[in-house]
Copies of this chain bind each other. A is one copy, B any other.
Amino acid sequence: MELSSALTFEMLGKPFLLEKRIVLLHAIKEHGSISKAAKAVPMSYKSAWEAVDVMNSLSPEPIVSRETGGKDGGGTTITEYGETLLQNYALLKAEHTRFLERLSELTEIQSGTFKTIGRLAMQLSARNQIQAEVLSITSTSVHADIVLALKSGQSLHVVITQEAVENLQIEVGQSMTAIFKSNAVSLWQGEEENHLSGSIVELEKDETLCKIVIDMGNHDKIVAVLETSDTTLTLGSNIDVVVQKNHIILGK
**Residues in chain A within 8 A of chain B (CB atoms):** 1-11, 16, 60, 81, 84-85, 88, 91-92, 95-96, 98-99, 102-103, 107, 109-110, 112, 114-115, 117-127, 129, 141-143, 159-161, 163-165, 167-168, 170, 177, 179, 181-183, 206, 209, 211, 223, 225, 246-247, 249-252
Q: How far is the CA of A102 from the CA of B124 in the complex (A)?
A: 12
Chain B residues closer than 8 Å to A7, beta-carbon distance: 3, 5
Question: A10–B16 contact, CB under 8 A?
Answer: no
Question: B251–A124 contact, CB under 8 A?
Answer: yes
Question: B9–A125 contact, CB under 8 A?
Answer: no
A219 to chain B: closest residue by CB: B115
Question: A109–B251 contact, CB under 8 A?
Answer: no
Q: How far is the CA of A168 from the CA of B168 in the complex (A)?
A: 26
Chain B residues closer than 8 Å to A120, beta-carbon distance: 95, 98-99, 121-122
10 CB < 8 A contacts A-B: A5-B96, A81-B112, A91-B114, A96-B99, A99-B99, A123-B168, A123-B252, A125-B167, A142-B225, A179-B249
A183 to chain B: closest residue by CB: B246
A210 to chain B: closest residue by CB: B142
Question: A11–B4 contact, CB under 8 A?
Answer: no
Question: A8–B9 contact, CB under 8 A?
Answer: no
Q: Pick from B1, B142, B168: contact of A125, CB below 8 A.
A: B168
Chain B residues closer than 8 Å to A60, beta-carbon distance: 110
Q: Pick from B95, B103, B247: contact of A117, CB below 8 A.
A: B95
Q: Tell me the minimal C-beta distance from A170 to chain B in angstroms.
A: 8
New A-B pairs, 17, CB < 8 Å, besides A3-B9, A125-B249: A1-B16, A2-B10, A2-B11, A4-B9, A88-B112, A92-B107, A96-B103, A119-B251, A122-B177, A124-B250, A124-B251, A127-B161, A142-B225, A160-B181, A161-B181, A161-B225, A181-B247
